[in-house]
Amino acid sequence: MRAEPVHFNGARHTGNRSVLMNQNSQETKDRLYRIRHSLAHVCAQAVLEHYPQARLGFGPPTEDGFYYDFDFNGAPPQEKDLPRLEETMRRIIAARQPFTRTELQAPEALAKAAALRQNYKTLQIENLRAKGETCFSFYDNGPFSDLCEGPHVAHTGELPAKAFHLDHIAGAYWLGSERNKMLTRIYACAFESDAELAEHLRRRELARERDHKKLGKELELFTFSPMVGKGLPLWLPNGCVIRDCIEQYAREMEFRYGYQRVATPHITRAELYVRSQHLPAYKESMFPPMVIEDRGEDGVVTGSEEYYLKPMNCPHHHMIYAHRPVSYRELPMRLAEYGTCYRFEQSGELNGLLRVRSLCMNDAHIYLAEDQVKEEFRLLLKMYGEFYATFGLKDYRYRLSLRGTENREKFRGSDEMWDRAERILREVLEETAHPFDTGIGEAAFYGPKLDVQFKNLLGREETVSTIQIDFLGPENFDLNYTAPDGQPKRPVIIHRAPLSTHERFISFLIEAYGGAFPTWCAPLQVAIIPVREDVLGYARGIESELRNLGVRAEVDTSQNSFNKKIRSNLKLKIPNLLILGDKERDSGAVTWRRYGEEGQEQLASATFRERLLEEIRARQRRVPANS
RNA sequence: GCCGCCAUAGCUCAGUCGGUAGAGCAUAUCUUUCGUAAAGAUAAGGUCCUCGGUUCAAAUCCGAGUGGCGGCUCCA
């Protein structure tokens, strides 16, 4: 057998939605892995019982259960049919069928797959044989047999009869390629005990409660209109406050780190993107061009120009860099812009704010000499850490994304360029002791990148932001600076976007905070609730004092009862409630109730103002008790 | 783009067998001014996503389109 574990019925895919169990970890051979792996077989067995015409694809364990892909030949089951399959699975489990392993040479293995009429297994044997595999194992239980590496439990009676749940059905391409047939994938959750399954389902339910699409609607942060177009978010006043606060923070941080702000238009002539190589590489992902025709006096078209909505800010920034000769003394030159870009993402990929067609990027390009790259990278890692600490985001890791061996043509530029860039990235990470892992084939077309991978509520990883080294852009645009010896030299470019896009970053924050934003970036910072009508004047006074200081405070002047006012402001997750009644008015005080915290505090209104302003100035985040 | 599911009031949803629609919340008006998670009454609110088909009759059945959701593929 080969040293690297072969996964006969485990699909190789890198999709980040259904995370496969790590095959190389110690978990690999453990009990849960065997249970999930064996349940996948039992699932396929049940499917064949109900759908004899079905053909089996891959069926690997995943982070929370397993899936199995089937070709149902035109008659796939629906989700309402899943309970019936579960019942059959339980019957197979009750039958305590032993799993037996058979090892076969290629000809026998192919004969067996043919006898089982499992054409996808035949293909898999052939694929593995082409890679040098000579020995193939099958696992049999009862009437069922499947090409599989194992391991499995001893018999089906060891499988938990209730701690699994056939969850949902989705399409998935054979071998993960869109050129292949779309199979039907049955997803399942599976655990060792009923309690673990219940806990998993409960956590998933909680995550759904915090879904940014749901909270975005409830808290009136953003909306979509079919009249405007799919994937084109409309930011409502509340959501726009969050954007503005984040943007203000980025401006302050970037100013401290020596960035200069620039602004560029939303449309650009095609030439710019031809030069940058974006147009050849990403034409399919760009909105089609606007064509401006030149006409002669007789109305005949004499020529035309194409304009594109910009999918990236970088080429514009390069043109700003190039508008006059640059001295080495000016480097690193850091040009920053919260730039709005438009990308024609595939319609099926659009997802709330997470994947959109118009996005506003916390973009900057740093032009510098090659010997400055390492130091700048250290600064960047420091800045990233500061940003994420402020937002209270801790669950992230760095991924060094490199070229892959497959589709080399995607990656432009010389090998020497790539090696230099990769070496610099690796060295800085090691010298600064930032733990990281590598993602082969995840690089940008112009260079390797450092991706920041955040875990969302369901434990799935999403790339939130990146740092990229680019030796290609300076070549494409013939960018230079004047070196101390008076000669022109090529700068290097670093692309970076620590706060990602407003769309993606805020969707993360909504879910991470469960909609309860810290005071500094909350749409409404202080809700003022008068206990009775005759303290309304006092409430108004407090309100205008706060508003004059730039605090977003509002008196709840609705006709609601006092209790209802408390309730409705809590539902909106307003971080600070001020309760004002006779007691407070007579002593110039306020009663301060914070969202998500037990108890409340009565204090002089001047003291409250000071403490609140300090909290906002420092961009503090108090962690609510319930999160 | 591909596979599957879904679309009823601003929101969340009910609507049986085909006989042109209901609830709660929200909104408006009136009464109530209340000390920590829902005061009371009344009113208004609908192209049952759109278009086409079947039918005496369509929210309901069929087809197409649009939009959303769960995945796959893609992601500068």
Q: Per residue in A116-147, pLDDT tens?
A: 999 999 999 999 999 888 999 999 999 999 99
What is the C-alpha separation between A308 and A282, in angstroms, rounded?
12
pLDDT, averaged across chain A: 91
Token pair, residue A78, equals: 């629906």
Using CB atoms within 10 A of its CB, is residue A416 exposed (0-12), middle (13-18) or buried (19+)?
Answer: exposed
| Nearest nt to the A15 alpha carbon by C1' | B72
Q: What is the largest CA-CA distance in chain A?
A: 94
Q: Specify whether A227 is located in the same domain as A329.
A: yes
Give the alpha-carbon dihedral of A84, A87, A92, A93, to 10 degrees: 140
* Domain assignment of residue A285, yes or no: yes
Distance A201 CA to B74 C1' (A): 30
The structural domain count of chain A equals 3
**Three-state DSSP class for residue A623:** coil
Q: Specify whether A425 is located in the same domain as A546.
A: no
Give the pLDDT mean for A307-325.
Answer: 96
Token pair, residue A561, equals: 């009862």
Sign of CA dihedral A230, A232, A234, A239: positive
Name the pairing type of β-strands A396-402 and A436-440.
Answer: parallel
Q: Last residue of a domain, which of A513, A548, A578?
A: A513
- Which of A179, A362, A213, A359 shows the shortest CA–CA distance to A287? A359
Distance A198 CA to B75 C1' (A): 34
CB within 7 A of strand B (chain A, 520-539):
530-534
**Three-state DSSP class for residue A229:** coil
Where do we find the tokens 């916390």?
Answer: A362
Strand B contact with A174 (CB < 7 A): no
- Is A187:A171 a contact under the CB 8 Å cutoff? no
Query: H/E element holding A529?
Result: strand A526-530
Region for residue A203 given its phi and psi (left: phi exceeds 0; alpha: psi -120 to 50; beta: otherwise):
alpha
What is the C-alpha separation between A272 and A256, in angstroms, rounded?
31
Per-residue HEC secondary structure of A524-546 comes to: CCEEEEECCHHHHHHHHHHHHHH
| Nearest nt to the A593 alpha carbon by C1' | B36
Query: H/E element holding A523?
Result: none
Q: In the prediction, which pLDDT does A7 show?
A: 40
| Nearest nt to the A278 alpha carbon by C1' | B76
Where do we find the tokens 């072969």?
Answer: A6
Q: Specify whether A319 is located in the same domain as A402.
A: yes
Least confident range from A311-325, A461-475, A612-626: namely: A612-626
Region for residue A119 given its phi and psi (left: phi exceeds 0; alpha: psi -120 to 50; beta: otherwise):
alpha
Distance A564 CA to B72 C1' (A): 46
Q: In the prediction, which pLDDT does A413 show?
A: 82
Q: Per residue in A326-349, pLDDT tens?
A: 999 999 999 999 999 999 999 999
Distance A121 CA to B52 C1' (A): 45
What is the C-alpha separation between A458 and A40, in angstroms, rounded?
22
* Domain assignment of residue A623, yes or no: no
Q: Per residue in A268-277, pLDDT tens?
A: 999 999 999 8
- Is A555:A543 a contact under the CB 8 Å cutoff? yes
Respond yes or no on whether the N-terminal peptide bond of residue A151 is cis (omega within 30° of 0): yes
Q: Specify whether A184 is located in the same domain as A324.
A: no
* Domain assignment of residue A10, yes or no: no
Distance A227 CA to B64 C1' (A): 21
Strand B contact with A351 (CB < 7 A): yes
Q: Specify whether A184 is located in the same domain as A243.
A: no
| Nearest nt to the A349 alpha carbon by C1' | B74
- Is A115:A145 a contact under the CB 8 Å cutoff? no
CB within 7 A of strand B (chain A, 7-66):
13-18
Token pair, residue A460, equals: 């799935």
The pLDDT > 90 percentage for chain A reads 76
Q: Specify whether A167 is located in the same domain as A63.
A: yes
Angle, helices A82-94 vs A31-50, to 10°: value is 120
Q: Specify whether A392 is located in the same domain as A441.
A: yes
Q: Specify whether A383 is located in the same domain as A433.
A: yes
Query: H/E element holding A76?
Result: none
CB within 7 A of strand B (chain A, 454-493):
466, 468
Give the alpha-carbon dihedral of A204, A356, A316, A239, to 10 degrees: -70
* Domain assignment of residue A493, yes or no: yes
What is the C-alpha separation between A456 and A370, in angstroms, rounded?
36
Distance A533 CA to B29 C1' (A): 20
Domain region containing A384: 218-293+304-513
Q: Per residue in A19-74, pLDDT tens?
A: 666 555 554 458 899 999 999 999 999 999 999 999 999 999 998 999 999 999 87
CATH number at residue A509: 3.30.930.10
Q: Specify whether A470 is located in the same domain as A423.
A: yes
Residues comprising chain A, all counted: 627
Least confident range from A121-135, A476-490, A563-577, A578-592: namely: A121-135
Strand B contact with A593 (CB < 7 A): yes
* Domain assignment of residue A338, yes or no: yes
Query: Which residue places its CA closest to the C1' of nucleotide B30?
Result: A559
CB within 7 A of strand B (chain A, 99-158):
none
Q: In the prediction, which pLDDT does A150 show?
A: 80
pLDDT band at A473 (very low <50, low <70, confident <90, very high): very high
Half-sphere exposure of A544 toward its Cβ, with a 13 Å CA cutoff?
Answer: 5
Distance A399 CA to B75 C1' (A): 16
Residue A11 has pLDDT above 60, yes or no: no
* Domain assignment of residue A298, yes or no: no
- Is A439:A399 a contact under the CB 8 Å cutoff? yes
Give the pLDDT mean for A560-585.
Answer: 96
Query: Measured between alpha carbons, how far is residue A464 from residues A41, A475, A478 in Å?
Result: 36, 28, 31
Q: Last residue of a domain, which of A177, A208, A239?
A: A208
Residues β-bridged to residue A436: A398
Instruction: Enumerate the nucleotides of strand B whose atoms come under 7 Å of any protein CB.
Output: 1-5, 11-12, 26-27, 30-40, 66-76
What is the C-alpha separation between A578 and A598, in angstroms, rounded?
14
What is the C-alpha separation between A352 and A513, in angstroms, rounded?
17
Strand B contact with A236 (CB < 7 A): no
- Which of A440, A439, A441 shows the shortest CA–CA distance to A410? A441
pLDDT band at A444 (very low <50, low <70, confident <90, very high): confident
- Which of A172, A170, A162, A171 shows the shortest CA–CA distance to A201? A162
Count Cβ atoms below 10 Å from residue A612 Cβ, excluding itself. Answer: 22
A437 Cβ neighbours under 8 A, 6+ residues apart:
A397, A398, A399, A400
Q: In the prediction, which pLDDT does A13 show?
A: 35
* Domain assignment of residue A389, yes or no: yes
pLDDT band at A432 (very low <50, low <70, confident <90, very high): confident
CATH number at residue A74: 3.30.980.10
Q: Specify whether A76 is located in the same domain as A143.
A: yes
Query: H/E element holding A430?
Result: helix A415-431
* Domain assignment of residue A624, yes or no: no
Distance A582 CA to B39 C1' (A): 21
CATH number at residue A588: 3.40.50.800
| Nearest nt to the A449 alpha carbon by C1' | B76
Distance A183 CA to B17 C1' (A): 37
Strand B contact with A231 (CB < 7 A): yes
Distance A350 CA to B27 C1' (A): 32
Distance A169 CA to B6 C1' (A): 14
Give the pLDDT mean for A81-106.
Answer: 94
As separate numbers, helices (DSSP H) first and strands (DSSP E) second, chain A gives: 18, 28
**Buried (b) or exposed (e) across A338-350, using 16+ Cβ within 10 A?**
bbbbbbbbeeeee
Q: Last residue of a domain, which of A513, A548, A579?
A: A513
Where do we find the tokens 């655990």?
Answer: A191
Q: Specify whether A400 is located in the same domain as A501.
A: yes
Q: Please name the amino acid found at residue A448.
A: P
Q: Specify whether A505 is located in the same domain as A569.
A: no
Higher pLDDT, A20 or A520: A520
- Which of A361, A431, A425 shows the shortest CA–CA distance to A399? A425
Q: In the prediction, which pLDDT does A434 show?
A: 85
- Is A292:A304 a contact under the CB 8 Å cutoff? yes
Strand B contact with A445 (CB < 7 A): yes
- Is A16:A23 a contact under the CB 8 Å cutoff? no
